[in-house]
């Protein structure tokens, strides 16, 4: 057997056949420049500034997702009919699901107001991309079928749910991978037992988990919950994002005002700064290195704010952060007072006083009657007379997961003592300050 082997820190050995049409399809997609670009996009964005081992890329994650979809399809094909073209489409979609990501994963999405799935579908459909040519060479309709899976419009729906749903191969890989690479053990769960318990409800066209897999799925959901609380919403990580977003916003506003801001002329990054609508080729040209290169240059900018923010980011001198652990009635007065402290110290609040709102909501649409099937997890309840039910109807553990939201402020460390004093005045005496 001819094969290509990738050594992976999570899955150990990932084998890809090179002596079959489908195997060659996967190899050619991996070798395409649009996919190789993912080597230059950090999987966890700025998490490496908090967890120094989090240097892994979207490339390694996407290979892991391909590996998992292959294992799941091999398992399910023992019991259900899966056409060759459907299998190829699902594997290609799993592999390519992240090619639309911008620099530092989600950071640029927040600054420029786009969603990576839009760019992913465009890259798959655009005949100018190599991945499109590779897909068309396999089957003329394959690019559209892959795009439909990414957009959630593919039939049968259960096959698309393996790629994108509340229990999909994307989440299965990134929880284990992010847990391993950050050193945070919260993301560990029983992957093997979930794969073993996956099944298809053909009548209702959906994936479900056999009764024996219930506890493994509970563990998976708890792992995701705690990874959000301890890793993805970590204060230092979010503070780093706040500094980077402020830096980019300042650069964009200066360019819009015709101020002198250095940029590499003729590049996609320059067009982005000048708010010129980006083509697909422009978007796929940029990666993490473009942002870092410009920030390094802006440390010598004539504009004080741009120069200061860039210097803080490159030197890892991020803002401090406080979670607003106080009654809602007292929050507005504290925010106004803290903002005034920042302004009196000579810092423009629009760049140096950041309110950070975030919430993890994968569990709460379980309780909505109108939630679509991909936003739910279905499990088999009982053995003697089994029924397929939504997991929150069966599991006390899932019902007990509380919605996690945060509201915090980020500000320069130069004013931390005064803001901490304000916080202790506003917050109840029984609450300790939670800062970084």
The CATH number of whichever domain residue 284 belongs to comes to 1.20.1250.30
CA dihedral sign of residues 397, 399, 401, 402? negative
CB within 8 A of 432, min separation 6: which ones? Answer: none
Residues 293 and 434 in one domain: no
Residues 76 and 184 in one domain: yes
Model confidence, pTM? 0.93
Residues 224 and 290 in one domain: no
Residues 287 and 343 in one domain: no
Q: Assess contact for 118 and 97: CB atoms under 8 A.
A: no
Residues 75 and 194 in one domain: yes
Q: Is 388 exposed, middle or buried (0-12, 13-18, 19+ CB in 10 A)?
A: middle
CA-closest candidate to residue 165, choices 366, 412, 394: 366
Number of domains in the chain: 3
Pinpoint the alpha helices (H) of 261-327.
268-273, 280-285, 288-298, 304-314
Q: Assess contact for 201 and 390: CB atoms under 8 A.
A: no
Domain that holds residue 154: 3-232
**What is the distance between the terminal CA atoms of the chain, rounded to a whole angstrom?**
53
Q: Which long-range contacts (CB under 8 A, 24 or more apart) does 269-278 make?
A: 269/294, 272/112
Residues 51 and 121 in one domain: yes
Residues 206 and 256 in one domain: no
**Which tokens go with 297?**
């240059």
Residues 118 and 58 in one domain: yes
Residues 344 and 308 in one domain: no
pLDDT by residue for the chain (436 residues), tens only, comes to: 699 999 999 999 999 999 999 999 999 999 999 999 999 999 999 999 999 999 999 999 999 999 999 999 999 999 999 999 999 999 999 999 999 999 987 778 877 877 888 999 999 999 999 999 999 999 999 999 999 999 999 999 999 999 999 999 999 999 999 999 999 999 999 999 999 999 999 999 999 999 999 999 999 999 999 999 899 999 999 999 999 999 999 999 999 999 999 999 999 999 999 999 999 999 999 999 999 999 999 999 999 999 999 999 999 999 999 999 888 888 999 999 999 999 999 999 999 999 998 765 444 444 444 556 667 899 999 888 899 999 999 998 988 886 777 889 999 999 999 999 998 887 654 444 555 5
The β-bridge relationship of strands 378-381 and 387-390 is antiparallel
Residues 30 and 152 in one domain: yes
Residues 104 and 221 in one domain: yes
DSSP state of 228: I
Q: Assess contact for 239 and 319: CB atoms under 8 A.
A: yes
Residues 28 and 157 in one domain: yes
The CATH number of the domain holding residue 423 is 3.30.70
């Amino acid at each position: 057997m001819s094969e290509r082997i990738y050594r992976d820190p999570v899955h150990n050995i990932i084998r890809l056949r090179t002596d079959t049409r489908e195997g060659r399809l996967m190899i050619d997609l991996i070798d395409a420049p649009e996919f190789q670009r993912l080597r230059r996009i950090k999987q966890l964005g700025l998490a490496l500034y908090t967890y120094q081992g989090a240097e892994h890329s979207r490339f390694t994650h996407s290979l892991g997702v391909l590996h998992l979809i292959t294992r799941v399809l091999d398992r399910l094909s023992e019991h259900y009919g899966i056409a060759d073209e459907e299998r190829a489409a699902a594997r290609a979609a799993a592999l390519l699901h992240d090619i639309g990501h911008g620099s530092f994963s989600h950071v640029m999405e927040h600054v420029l107001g786009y969603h990576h799935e839009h760019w992913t579908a465009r890259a798959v459909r655009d005949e100018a991309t190599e991945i499109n040519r590779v897909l068309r060479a396999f089957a003329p309709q394959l690019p559209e079928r892959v795009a439909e899976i990414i957009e959630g419009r593919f039939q049968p729906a259960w096959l698309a749910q393996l790629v994108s749903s509340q229990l999909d191969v994307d989440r299965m890989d990134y929880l284990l991978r992010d847990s391993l690479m950050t050193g945070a053990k919260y993301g560990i769960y029983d992957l093997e037992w979930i794969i073993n318990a996956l099944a298809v409800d053909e009548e209702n066209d959906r994936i479900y988990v056999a009764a024996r897999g219930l506890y493994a799925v509970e563990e998976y959901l708890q792992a995701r919950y705690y990874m959000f609380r301890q890793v993805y919403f970590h204060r230092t990580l979010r503070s780093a994002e706040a500094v980077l977003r402020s830096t980019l916003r300042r650069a964009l506003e200066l360019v819009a005002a015709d101020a002198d801001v250095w940029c590499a002329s003729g590049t996609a990054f320059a067009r982005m700064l000048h708010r010129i609508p980006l083509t697909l080729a422009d978007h796929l040209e940029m990666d993490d290195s473009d942002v870092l290169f410009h920030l390094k240059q802006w440390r010598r900018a004539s504009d004080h704010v741009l120069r200061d923010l860039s210097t803080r980011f490159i030197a890892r001198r991020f803002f401090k952060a406080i979670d607003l652990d106080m009654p809602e009635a007292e929050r507005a007065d504290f925010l106004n007072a803290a903002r005034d402290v920042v302004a009196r110290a000579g810092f423009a609040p629009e760049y140096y006083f950041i309110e950070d709102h975030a919430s993890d909501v994968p569990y709460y649409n379980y309780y909505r009657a109108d939630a679509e099937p991909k936003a739910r997890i279905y499990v088999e309840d009982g053995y003697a007379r089994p029924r397929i039910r939504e997991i929150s109807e069966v599991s006390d553990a899932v019902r007990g997961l509380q919605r996690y939201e945060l509201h915090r402020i980020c500000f320069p460390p130069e004013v931390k003592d005064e803001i901490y004093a304000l916080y202790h005045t506003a917050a109840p005496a029984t609450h300790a300050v939670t800062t970084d």
